[in-house]
Amino acid sequence: MKRILIMTALSVFALSAVAQDKNPFIPEIHGTIRAKYEYEPQIDKGRFEIRNARLSVEGKVIPIVRYKAEIDLSDEGTIKMLDAYIRLQPKDVLKFTFGQMRVPFTIDAHRSPHLQYFANRSFIAKQVGNVRDVGASASWTFNDRMPITLEGGIFNGSGLTNQKHFWTNNYNFSFKAQTMIARQFNITLSCQKANAGDVNVMMYDAGVYWQNRRWHIEAEYLRKHYAHGSFTPVNAVDAFAAYRLPMKKGLTSISFLGRYDYMSDHSKGTKDESGNLKVDDPERHRLTGGVTLSLGKKSLQADIRLNYEQYFYNKGVTPAISEQNKIVMEFVAHF
């Protein structure tokens, strides 16, 4: 049975790739697999993990109506439906999206796994600003010389699994504005109303990056406020640089990377016995250094990421077992 399923999937991939050149309405199938090994010297233990096994189908029903459905068969060991939306796109610069999607907010949290620079996401992308929800959004791009994109949306606030019996008059929303100057310098500003359990939060984010054929330098700051002062506001920072060295034979390129990120005490919405929000993620600093070996080209991507992460906690803090100094080797394949 497994062989039949594998052969069927491969046949569908091959047929869709061939048919796509002849018929623009044939669905496109994409996937990303991330397999990694992590070793933590402090506990002298390691683990193998399939971090992602994503499959997506996207295409057009008619020229102005598009769709996408994406599922992760192994998001840290669980199956999750990620994107499931219909998009009305009367022009390339104007988009209306309805369904389940990543909320337009931040730079780093909006990157797909194969576009990440490091094996593990920043604190902004993982703990503080990572939100997917069900709702509707609109996007408009204008000004050819210095493109400006404005995005906004309204969402349930129910998350991905609590939709059927969820009714509300307290919707979440987000707004994001970004511009690209001289095709190299990006400025992104965004804000979002979201939830931490049953507590409303407001998040504000500002980020910039500069890039050319070899360099990518980025910095981002996020501040998270909890309603009625129910928890101390959270500050999060992500700053990194990546230098890409093109290769002529074998490898496509070798990239050298360095990152600093920080997060103050953070609550996801869990409460203690007194009903007060408690710290789920204690304050921490982290330095990450790495090398990425790239093998693929364009839409067929294959990377080997080698990272070392050094964490810094306040005295007396006992970090979670997965949030300590570690060596990471990750293989990424995207098709």
Which tens digits make up the pLDDT trace of 36-88? 999 999 999 999 999 999 999 999 999 999 999 999 988 877 888 899 999 99
Q: Which residues of 256-279 are buried (b: 16+ CB within 10 A; e: fewer)?
A: ebebebbbbbbbebeeeeeeebeb
Beta bridge partners of 173: 154, 193
Report how far residue 59's alpha carbon sits from residue 46's, in angstroms, rounded to the nearest whole number.
41
Q: What is the pLDDT of residues 200-234, one digit of tens each?
A: 999 999 999 999 999 999 999 999 999 999 999 99
Task: Say what the pLDDT of residue 23 is.
Answer: 75
| Backbone angles phi and psi of 309, in degrees to 5 | -115, 130
Query: Which residues 6+ apart lie within 8 Å of 151 measured at CB?
Result: 104, 137, 138, 139, 140, 174, 175, 176, 177
Note the pLDDT of residue 85.
97
What digits encode the pLDDT tens for the residues 133-174? 999 999 999 998 899 999 999 999 887 777 778 888 889 999
CATH superfamily for domain 2-334: Porin (2.40.160.10)
d(CA 102, CA 198): 20
Instruction: Tell me which residue of 48, 99, 100, 110 sits closest to 74, measured CA to CA.
Output: 48
Q: Give the percent of the chain with pLDDT over 70.
A: 93
| Residue 15 DSSP SS3 | helix
Q: In terms of C-beta density within 10 A (0-12 exposed, 13-18 middle, 19 or more buried), how is residue 319 classed?
A: middle
DSSP codes joined into one string, 239-301? EEEEEEEE-SSS-SEEEEEEEEEEE-SB--S-B-TTS-B--SB--EEEEEEEEEEE--BTTBE
In b/e form, how buried is each residue of 321-331, taking b as 16+ CB within 10 angstroms?
eebebbebbbb
**Residue 194, φ and ψ in degrees, nearest 5:** -140, -165
Q: What is the pLDDT of residue 4?
A: 44
Q: Where are the domains of the chain?
A: 2-334
- The structure's pTM equals 0.89
CA 131/CA 224 separation, integer angstroms: 13
Interacting residues of 64 by C-beta distance below 8 A, sequence separation 6+: 88, 89, 90
Cβ 170 vs Cβ 157: under 8 Å: yes
DSSP state of 301: E
- Residue 218's SS3 state is strand
Give the separation between CA 183 and CA 186, rounded to whole angstroms: 8
Q: Which two tokens stand for residue 325?
A: 């100094």
